[in-house]
Amino acid sequence: MTDAVPLTEIWRGPMAESVHRGHAVICDASGNVVEAWGNPGATVLPRSSAKMIQALPLVESGAAKARGLTDEHLALACASHNGAAIHTDRVRAWLNDLGLSDDDFRCGAHLPKDNDTRHAMICADETPCQVHNNCSGKHAGFLTLTQHMGWGPEYVAPDHPMQKACLEAFENVTGEDSPCYGIDGCSAPNFATTLHGMGRAMAWFANAQDGRNARETAAVRLWQAMVAHPALVAGETRACTELMRACTEPVALKTGAEAFFCGDHSGP
């Protein structure tokens, strides 16, 4: 077992005030480790970094096409958004198109991360809805597939067909059996894998080919949607949004809670 290694130092004046340790891995197109820091075999919970994987069943099933979902919808399905109007207005419209309401969500409610929206709601004594949850786009995707397939309403239950579909996709693209799961902040299962497994998954996304098969076609559409709409994936001042905007080549980036971060670069 390789221990976590220093990855970042925060300096104040002449001294390193704090050191952040962790693990990191870079994989090539075949999913092999090119370079690693710490232990690439460490078991991790990727948290929201796995959202593009969780969205694969939505697209490859045909549900996204059947409901006429656009790239904006798919960017939101992969998002941990700020709960600004650009996010919540779109998620509400998506729910309306499904004939559903905020009560059909199972993600729970919290105040939006967007400062202006949060302050306005506090001043107006408004109670947040589930649409303000940073994962409401992902859950709108879950509801879309659940409705398309005629599954039951408790779509976050680990034994629900929705989550079984997510697990199958997760294990397929990571190339590993998931040893366990933890319940994420939005009440959905978050499946564990190794850091190498997530690196392998991102390499697979980066090298997926449109038209090769349904899963790879879905992957291409998802990462391209994220790159096309970085503001919907997170929001102003957020790392995902600002870094995708700054990249001169297409790179899909996604953070996860507890300092997890992943990305895929499609190109030379």
pLDDT digits (tens, 9 = 90+) for 84-94: 999 999 999 99
| pTM reported for the whole predicted model | 0.95
pLDDT digits (tens, 9 = 90+) for 136-157: 999 999 999 999 999 999 999 9
The DSSP annotation for the chain comes to -PPPEEEEEEEETTEEEEEEEE-EEEE-TTS-EEEEES-TT-EE--GGGGHHHHTHHHHHTSHHHHTT--HHHHHHHT------HHHHHHHHHHHHHHT--GGG--S-----S-HHHHHHHHHTTPPPPGGGSTTHHHHHHHHHHHHHHT--S-TTSTTSHHHHHHHHHHHHHHTS----EEE-TTSSEEE-EEHHHHHHHHHHHHH--TTT-HHHHHHHHHHHHHHH-HHHHS-TT-HHHHHHHH-SS-EEEEEETTTEEEEEE---
pLDDT digits (tens, 9 = 90+) for 171-217: 999 999 999 999 999 999 999 999 999 999 999 999 999 999 999 99
In the structure, what pLDDT confidence band is assigned to residue 255 with cuts at 50, 70 and 90? very high
In the prediction, which pLDDT does 268 show? Answer: 57
In the prediction, which pLDDT does 267 show? Answer: 62
